[in-house]
């Protein structure tokens, strides 16, 4: 059974960089042909796909966030990370990591989510 767990600071100051780590167990992040994604949900709003890193290491980003987003991985630790720079209060959200298959926007496993607040 694949499990994902988000970790990182719950508070970030404006203009700083948000950094989160997703630790995966029960499956390898290099296994064909899965994609490892970051999704967020601001208060009272819907889910927003941020980006993903593929089994191959290729990265993909939402056009609206590409300039501020970086996703990387550490295969030795079976982890992938999210960095979102120049944050503002509008970046306050619950952040999730999730696994997607070849079908793209179809997630079979999710982390529990972690609240990140950008202070005013």
Q: Is 66 in a helix, a strand, or coil?
A: helix
Residue whose entry in the numeric block shows the structure tokens 């989510």: 113
Answer left, alpha or beta for residue 28, where phi above 0 means left and psi between -120 and 50 means alpha. Answer: beta
The reported pLDDT for the residue numbered 57 is: 97
C-alpha to C-alpha distance for 72 and 19, rounded to whole angstroms: 11
C-alpha to C-alpha distance for 87 and 75, rounded to whole angstroms: 27
pLDDT tens over the chain, length 120 residues: 999 999 999 999 999 999 999 999 999 999 999 999 999 999 999 999 999 999 999 999 999 999 999 999 999 999 999 999 999 999 999 999 999 987 767 899 999 999 999 998
The reported pLDDT for the residue numbered 105 is: 72
Short-list 93, 47, 49, CA closest to 71: 49
């Amino acid at each position: 059974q694949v499990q994902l767990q988000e970790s990182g600071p719950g508070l970030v100051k404006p203009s700083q960089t948000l950094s989160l780590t997703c630790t995966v167990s029960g499956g390898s992040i290099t296994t064909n042909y899965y994609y490892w994604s970051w999704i967020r949900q601001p208060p009272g709003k819907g889910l927003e796909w941020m980006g993903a890193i593929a089994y191959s290491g290729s990265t993909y980003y939402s056009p609206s966030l590409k300039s501020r987003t970086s996703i990387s991985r550490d295969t030795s630790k079976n982890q992938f990370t999210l960095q979102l720079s120049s944050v503002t209060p509008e970046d306050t959200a619950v952040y999730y990591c999730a696994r997607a298959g070849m079908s793209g926007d179809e997630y079979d496993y999710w982390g529990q989510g972690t609240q990140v607040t950008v202070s005013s």
